[in-house]
Copies of this chain bind each other. A is one copy, B any other.
């Protein structure tokens, strides 16, 4: 078990588009934010992850490596559409930005996350960093699988 302490931001421009991204395909066996269960395929590796309730920006996270064939089958059991995204990793000293460029129903959305070791840890802000959305539940991947970004835009039109 690890506590997950993350801050999440929108981005501007495309200075974050560096190096070779990793493809992440993921779905949810439970979207409930108090007991979220995620199936993920990262390139050719499978993972099953359980996350507890978010308190502030801290969240209990349990991640287990599982066979790829299991992950492929488990994705077919998931509730609702599957999320598909490219993840860029941008080192920042001892930390690392993870920038997710979504495709499919969430195309157009790009989100940057940084994992911290304490809630008050400081970090440098790259010039492409935009508005913080750490506490905006719409940006949870579990919600993006149910209410994708393309639908938000339609609602705003």
Give chain A's interface residues, CB within 8 Å of chain B: 1, 29-30, 32, 34-35, 37, 48, 50, 52-53, 60, 62, 64, 66-67, 69-70, 73-74, 77-79
CB-CB under 8 A from A34, the residues of chain B are 77
A1 touches B62 (CB 8 A): no
A62 touches B52 (CB 8 A): no
Q: How many copies of this chain are found per oligomer?
A: 2
Chain B minimum-CB-distance residue to A66: B64
A74 touches B48 (CB 8 A): no
A77 touches B35 (CB 8 A): yes
Can you name 16 A-B pairs with beta carbons within 8 Å?
Answer: A29-B35, A29-B37, A29-B50, A30-B30, A30-B35, A30-B37, A32-B79, A34-B77, A35-B78, A37-B37, A48-B50, A52-B77, A53-B77, A62-B66, A62-B70, A62-B73
B30 touches A70 (CB 8 A): no
CB-CB under 8 A from A1, the residues of chain B are 67, 69-70, 73
Chain B minimum-CB-distance residue to A76: B52
